[in-house]
Amino acid sequence: MAIHLGLIAERNFKVSKPIQTCGALLAAASAMLRLRRRFYRLCRVLFLSPALLHPSLSSAAGGNIATDGTLGAVRSFNGANVTIPQRLGTTVGNNLFHSFARFNVGTGQTVTFTENTPGTLRNVVSRVTGNDASEIAGALKSAIPNADFYFVNPQGITFGAHAQIDVPGAFHAGTADKIAFQHDSAVFYAANNRTSSLSAAAPAAFGFLAKSAANNGLIAIDGATLAVRHHQSLDVVAGSISVGHNATLAAPGGDIRLVAKQDEGAVLLGKTDEDALPLPAAHPLPANGGDIHLESGVVTTASAAGGHIRLWGESVVIDDSRLDAGNPDTPDGAFDHAGQPGSITLRAGALQVLNGSRVSADTHSRAQAGSVSVQADSVLIDGRGSQTGIASETRGAGDAGSVSLQAGALDIRNGGGLSSSTYAGGEAGSVAVAADRVTIAGHGAQLTGIASFAAASSSGNAGTVTVTAGSLDIHDGGGISSSTWSSGDAGNVMVAADSARIDGNGGALATGIFSNANAPDSGNAGSVEVRAGTLEIRNGGRINSDTQADARAGSVTVTADRIMIDGHGIPTGIGSETKGSGKAGTVLVKAGSLDIRHGGGVSSSAYADGNAGRVSVTANDLTIAGQGVLLTGVGSFAADTGSGDAGLVSVEAGQLDIHNGGGISSSTWSTGSAGNVSVKAGSALIDGRGGPLATGIFSDASLGHSGDAGTVSLRAGHLELRDGGRLSSNTYSQGSAGTVSVDADTLMLGVDSFIGSASRGRHSSGKTGNVTVTAHDWLRLDRGKISIENEASLNGAAAIRPGSIAVTAPDIDLTDSEITTHATGNVAAGNIVIQFVHGLRLDPSYIRTTAGSGNGGSITIAGGETVYLQNSGIRTSVSGADGNGGDIRVTAANLIMASGLVQANAVGGSGGNITLSLHALIPSGSTLLRGGEQPLDWSPGAFGYNVIQAASATGISGTVNVTAPQLNLSGVLANLGGPQFDADAINQGNCESAGGGSSLIRLGEGGLPPRSGDWWMFPSKPD
């Protein structure tokens, strides 16, 4: 069944079943006539040759050429060799015009255009005025040495498998309605029913009329090799264009233009400043653009001088094809110094680059490669398992060109890519993408994404990569990167998006945004900068700048309104790391809200001899929620595989929430030191519930290495630790622990939570840090701890200065809690200094220092009003035979002991001294036990069991010095020197009766004078 060209398919027509009858097809055609141009796409899908679609083309193998008599004599031509002389056309100046009723070149046939006087003509312009398309299956030649060749048939042109063109100048094939000329109003129409005016000026434009056959004309290059000579133009302008079946378009060092135009307007023919044919100024749309389809085809301007390739169409499909505007290698390395770099420009409504296709402007020589520029409403680059993409690269001393893309939507999949790279001494170019929506979806082991890289064999630098998008989705091994595997440096990577999502989906290939130095001898990595409205990083996704070399990694900067980092049990996040001697980069994150979960992190780490970088996070709301055994949070680490230092970590947040194994930390597992950790927050909650890992803010030096832990400091408005939350700096080996400093307006330490510094293990260094806790309003401990723990036993332990604890708050309240320094080896216990204003209350709790064979630490408590011991104690003790007990000094207005203990004891060394500078000492039960050579085994819970003692079992007991009115504590055991009473019966009201007991009156300025024998509670400490 023959299908006439007038029967065309609707724009979105799909073949769902075979066409059964001509009547059904005719009915459909009459309803869809105005959408004729999509028919040829259907033809390609059905693998039909255009020659089968029109009766006139079936005879083309025998040749079929006839002039129409409008510009010369009527003449028909047949035979293997046909000559079209100048006299059969009309000559105006240097222009020769021919007009044919039909024009076909058969297989094996040669058709040659000639001139009367060689070298006089500049342009040969031919039109076909009949109703049939032309098929060129043989050789189309021009023997006119200085002339460009123009061939126009509005019905279409097919170049078959054996077609050739041999013209000295440029070759222009079109389905235009007319040709306009420079400097005048002359028009040469393709239809002979219109009045043409011929001009001696050079052709200026292909012209298209509205709703004409030219708008639907197809030019098909079907298996043909069409080539022009060096530095010439090969130009195809039609309603739609097809290049397939291993067809080749070649213009070495020249330019190739494919324009699919389907509305009224002009396509200019004058060259641009780049010496290339221009594209239409309007953006291709369904209303004005046609289809360009390349399938198993090649379009090339490859030459030592470079060349240009330009495509313009509403739908451009490049499938298993190659566009090449490169500078190939030459035996002597020569290149054309006068030539401009080649370039490729694609303008499309919808662009598809598929199935191993490559659009590239490369150089293999000292010449610079050209740029690649793409503008489209939508771009799909789908490798379907093969490396596919748009690129510029250098494999010589010349630099690669830039690659730029602007699109409404960009979709890169399955090995597809946009890249500019170097494989030799030249530099890679930059890659820039701007799109409303960008999707990068990897597949298998193929690299997928947007990149610039310096390959292992190169010495040039990689280029910068810039992506600007409304939405950005990278997943399953997709990436945006600039990396180096060579001595050249990687480039910087900059990404800006309204919303961005990076999801590794647990795959083996890296997914994310990178700039890496990937080889031991490679150059520096570049910086990475990401700006987004919302940013999600999940399941192994990364934003990184890493180094495995002596060179440094780059900085990583991320700014977003909202950031979610969720590892789902896989290391995920934002960071920089070194696996060489080069330094890792600084990591800076700034967000409105930052949520880090389940193995997610913001980090800079050292896995070799290079140091980790600084990590800085600023957020209004910061949540860190760990899970399982993976580290989750903000940190810097020095791994046991190297000797590099961990970096500094700083965090500023309005609201900080750390729980379930989350952390902010800088730690070392190596000979390198950990960094300092600094946190500032409006309010902070650290909740260790539910996580097997430590939860909190810390710096640790791990077992088996000599690195030091860093300092930990926190400033918060309100701070709460509970259920095992911690603030600490610890050492488990020969390194020192760091100091811990906490400053808050209000501070709550809940169940099993602690603030402290420790030297863990008998063979640890014994070098703990100081612990300083300051609360400006109040401090409460409820089954919490402030501590320094020291388990070391060392030679020369006496030379080690133990860390001390300093606690300051207006009101301090301990419930089932302790403030302690504890040394189990031969290192001295640290000192404790507590300062308060209103009250220090322990119920039941301890403030104590304990030592093994080292000396005990001292305890100094100073406050304005009252120390209250409810089943609680203040104690310094030494269990070893040689250590001396620590001193205890309490300065306050009042000391109330409700089954309380103040004890400084030792075994063989001297007991510590006790100094209580008080205005009032009030024991419960009116009893107080004082002194004794043997330390009393005091335990809480016994009413009235109050002890003040400085004793040594075999050594010299310390002294007890108490200054309190109405008390006589001389002697070993003594009752209170004043009236005996139960403190529980005291009523603090000035005027209320306390039954038969005494009254306790708080005296301020003014008031009634006290009565003789009344107890006084002073509001301030004594002078």
Q: What is the pLDDT of residues 627-675, one digit of tens each?
A: 877 889 999 998 988 889 999 999 999 999 999 999 999 988 888 899 9
Q: What is the pLDDT of residues 30-40, one digit of tens each?
A: 334 334 444 44
Q: pLDDT band at 330, cuts 50/70/90?
A: low
Are residues 1005 and 943 part of one domain?
Answer: yes
Query: What pLDDT is stored for residue 118 in this prediction?
Result: 92
Least confident of 150-164, 325-339, 440-454: 325-339
Query: What pLDDT is stored for residue 733 in this prediction?
Result: 77
Query: What pLDDT is stored for residue 170 in this prediction?
Result: 97
| Cα–Cα distance, 124 to 141 (Å, whole number) | 12
By DSSP bridging, strand 754-759 and strand 785-790 are: parallel
Residue with tokens 């597949």, as numbered in its chain:
443
For the chain, the residue count is: 1023
Query: What pLDDT is stored for residue 886 in this prediction?
Result: 93
Are residues 699 and 728 part of one domain?
Answer: yes
The answer to whether residue 1006 sits within a structural domain is yes
Query: What pLDDT is stored for residue 778 in this prediction?
Result: 98
Task: Count Cα atoms within 13 angstroms, Cβ side, for 853.
Answer: 11
Decide if 734 contacts 670 (C-beta within 8 A).
no
* Averaged confidence pLDDT in the chain: 86
Q: pLDDT band at 1019, cuts 50/70/90?
A: very low
Are residues 96 and 39 part of one domain?
Answer: no
Q: Say yes or no to pLDDT of 931 above 70.
A: yes
Residue with tokens 């330094």, as numbered in its chain:
583
Query: What pLDDT is stored for residue 225 in this prediction?
Result: 95
Q: Six-digit token pair at 228?
A: 């022009």
Q: Say yes or no to pLDDT of 65 above 90.
A: yes
| Cα–Cα distance, 261 to 882 (Å, whole number) | 100
Decide if 126 contacts 103 (C-beta within 8 A).
yes
| H-type alpha helices, 499-600 | none
| Cα–Cα distance, 343 to 328 (Å, whole number) | 14
Are residues 107 and 13 part of one domain?
Answer: no
Q: What is the CA radius of gyration of the chain?
A: 44
The answer to whether residue 295 sits within a structural domain is no
Decide if 420 contacts 449 (C-beta within 8 A).
no
Q: pLDDT band at 986, cuts 50/70/90?
A: very low
Query: What pLDDT is stored for residue 14 in this prediction?
Result: 32
Query: What pLDDT is stored for residue 445 in this prediction?
Result: 76
Query: What pLDDT is stored for residue 215 in this prediction?
Result: 66
Q: Six-digit token pair at 773?
A: 């806790």
φ/ψ region of 661 (left if φ > 0, alpha if ψ in -120 to 50, else beta) reads left
| Cα–Cα distance, 129 to 978 (Å, whole number) | 132
Query: What pLDDT is stored for residue 53 in this prediction?
Result: 41
Q: Six-digit token pair at 431?
A: 């890659």
Decide if 694 contacts 661 (C-beta within 8 A).
yes
Indicate the SS3 state at residue 833: strand
Taking residues 524-550, report their average pLDDT. 95
Q: What is the pLDDT of residues 215-266, one digit of tens each?
A: 679 999 999 999 999 999 999 999 999 999 999 999 999 999 999 998 899 9
Taking residues 55-70, report their average pLDDT. 66
Are residues 15 and 107 part of one domain?
Answer: no
Query: What pLDDT is stored for residue 794 in this prediction?
Result: 67
CA angle (866 as vertex; 935, 815 as ends), nearest 5: 70
Q: Say yes or no to pLDDT of 868 above 80.
A: yes
Query: What pLDDT is stored for residue 1002 in this prediction?
Result: 44
Q: Six-digit token pair at 23?
A: 């009547």
Query: What pLDDT is stored for residue 731 in this prediction?
Result: 84
Q: What is the pLDDT of residues 845-867, one digit of tens each?
A: 999 999 888 888 999 999 989 99
Q: Is pLDDT larger for residue 854 or for residue 969?
A: 854
- Cα dihedral: 132, 134, 135, 136 (round 10): 160
Are residues 979 and 918 part of one domain?
Answer: yes
Taking residues 964-978, report their average pLDDT. 44
Instruction: Please enumerate in sequence order all residues whose Cβ is within 8 A of that of 604, keeping only pairs 6 or more positions apart, or say none.
Output: 575, 576, 577, 584, 585, 586, 587, 612, 613, 614, 615, 636, 647
Among the three residues 774, 792, 813, which one is the final residue of a domain in this structure? 774
| Cα–Cα distance, 25 to 693 (Å, whole number) | 72
Domain that holds residue 984: 883-1023
Decide if 777 contacts 746 (C-beta within 8 A).
yes
Q: Is pLDDT larger for residue 530 or for residue 979?
A: 530
Instruction: Please enumerate in sequence order all residues whose Cβ is within 8 A of that of 409, keeping only pairs 6 or more positions apart, or say none.
Output: 377, 378, 379, 435, 436, 437, 438, 439
Query: What pLDDT is stored for residue 538 in this prediction?
Result: 97
The answer to whether residue 797 sits within a structural domain is no
| Cα–Cα distance, 433 to 299 (Å, whole number) | 24
| Cα–Cα distance, 290 to 176 (Å, whole number) | 13
Q: Say yes or no to pLDDT of 21 above 70.
A: no
Taking residues 357-369, report their average pLDDT. 90
Are residues 631 and 603 part of one domain?
Answer: yes
Taking residues 622-629, report their average pLDDT. 88
Q: pLDDT band at 765, cuts 50/70/90?
A: low
The answer to whether residue 201 sits within a structural domain is yes
The answer to whether residue 834 sits within a structural domain is no
- In the DSSP assignment, the letter for residue 829 is P
Taking residues 24-49, report their average pLDDT. 39
User: What's at 91, amino acid-wise?
Assistant: T
Instruction: Please enumerate in sequence order all residues whose Cβ is within 8 A of that of 554, keeping only pairs 6 or more positions apart, or say none.
Output: 490, 492, 515, 524, 525, 526, 527, 528, 545, 576, 585
Least confident of 43-52, 358-367, 513-522, 553-562: 43-52
Are residues 72 and 38 part of one domain?
Answer: no
Q: Is pLDDT larger for residue 128 or for residue 333?
A: 128
Looking at the 3D structure of the chain, how many domains does it have? 4
Indicate the SS3 state at residue 493: strand
For the sheet containing 203-208, what is the strand order?
187-189, 178-181, 203-208, 265-268
Decide if 899 contacts 929 (C-beta within 8 A).
no
Residue among 159, 278, 267, 288 nearest 218 (CA) = 159
Residue among 46, 8, 31 nearest 262 (CA) = 8
The answer to whether residue 577 sits within a structural domain is yes
Q: pLDDT band at 956, cuts 50/70/90?
A: confident
Decide if 824 contacts 881 (C-beta within 8 A).
no
Query: What pLDDT is stored for residue 766 in this prediction?
Result: 63
Decide if 410 contacts 377 (C-beta within 8 A).
no
φ/ψ region of 598 (left if φ > 0, alpha if ψ in -120 to 50, else beta) reads left
Which CA distances in Å does 588 have to 366, 491, 594, 652?
Answer: 40, 19, 13, 12
Decide if 766 contacts 797 (C-beta within 8 A).
yes
Among the three residues 750, 774, 798, which one is the final residue of a domain in this structure? 774
pTM of the model: 0.85
Query: What pLDDT is stored for residue 701 in this prediction?
Result: 85
The answer to whether residue 659 sits within a structural domain is yes
Are residues 85 and 13 part of one domain?
Answer: no
Among the three residues 163, 190, 216, which one is the final residue of a domain in this structure? 216
Q: Say yes or no to pLDDT of 842 above 90.
A: yes
Q: pLDDT band at 379, cuts 50/70/90?
A: very high
Are residues 209 and 81 part of one domain?
Answer: yes
CA angle (955 as vertex; 949, 956 as ends), nearest 5: 60
Dump strand ranges (E) for 383-487. 388-394, 403-413, 416-422, 431-441, 448-454, 465-475, 478-484
User: What's at 356, amino acid-wise?
Assistant: G
Query: What pLDDT is stored for residue 99 in this prediction?
Result: 97
Are residues 136 and 11 part of one domain?
Answer: no
Indicate the SS3 state at residue 788: strand
Taking residues 811-839, report their average pLDDT. 94
Q: Is pLDDT larger for residue 36 or for residue 606?
A: 606
State how far Cα 678 lies from the chain centre: 24
| Cα–Cα distance, 877 to 872 (Å, whole number) | 15
CA angle (415 as vertex; 409, 420 as ends), nearest 5: 75
Query: What pLDDT is stored for residue 213 in this prediction?
Result: 64
Q: Say yes or no to pLDDT of 12 above 50.
A: no
Are residues 113 and 182 part of one domain?
Answer: yes
The answer to whether residue 327 sits within a structural domain is no
Q: Say yes or no to pLDDT of 681 above 50.
A: yes
| Cα–Cα distance, 276 to 344 (Å, whole number) | 10
Q: What is the pLDDT of residues 726-745, one digit of tens each?
A: 999 988 877 888 999 999 99
Query: What pLDDT is stored for residue 984 in this prediction?
Result: 46
**H/E element, 28:** helix 22-31
Q: What is the pLDDT of residues 266-321, one digit of tens each?
A: 999 999 888 899 999 999 999 899 999 999 999 999 988 778 999 999 999 999 99
Residue with tokens 């298998």, as numbered in its chain:
444
| Cα–Cα distance, 427 to 366 (Å, whole number) | 11
Q: Write phi, then psi, for 97 (nearest 5 degrees).
A: -115, 130
- Cα dihedral: 976, 979, 982, 984 (round 10): -110
